[in-house]
Structure 1
């Protein structure tokens, strides 16, 4: 008898929270897209798409030097992430899938 493993579903909210957390961990120096993609278990394209969405809303910014592009969380992004964590904690407590 085969045992099926249920694929863990991640919502966009969960993915966005994870991308913000990763960039927050790297502070003002930021991090490159490959680090975000690897740590969040996303394709390069999907990671770029999520980062661009966060940049468009002022939650992250992009900085470049001669060889790399870095993604940095903004003050607004930090506040948003903290509020999101409070919300997600309540969601988990009342057992809503997100």
Structure 2
């Protein structure tokens, strides 16, 4: 019997978008995202890349660091995801 994951992929993505939104237009580094979203560095990097590929986040680089920023599309997606999550919780379905 396989062990059920702590969070779904949507849960992880939601946490990542929330962390990035908390830092506004200046964005934040991957270490902060990983720490605050309670993910390994590798998992956070992989999920952020998916979000970038779909236009939900963008990556900005300066001389020292890469900063991850939630796009307008990402903010809209996050809002819809929160509404979906509330509905699912109200009808007691695990997603």
Sort the TM-score into its range (normalised by shorter chain). over 0.9
Residue 89 (1) aligns with residue 86 (2) = yes
User: Which residue of 64, 69, 72 maps to 2:69?
Assistant: 72
Q: TM-score, normalised by structure 1?
A: 0.90
Counterpart of 2:22 in structure 1 is 25
Larger Rg: 1
Q: Say how many residue pairs are matched.
A: 92
Counterpart of 2:31 in structure 1 is 34
User: Over the residues paired in the alignment, what is the CA RMSD in angstroms?
Assistant: 1.2
2: CA distance between counterparts of 1:8 and 1:45? Answer: 17
Counterpart of 2:44 in structure 1 is 47
2: CA distance between counterparts of 1:27 and 1:82? Answer: 15
- Post-superposition shift, 1:61? 0.2
2: CA distance between counterparts of 1:46 and 1:55? Answer: 14
- Segments of 5+ residues of structure 1 without an aligned counterpart are 1-6
- Segments of 5+ residues of structure 2 without an aligned counterpart are none
Q: Which runs of 4+ in 1 moved over 2 A?
A: none
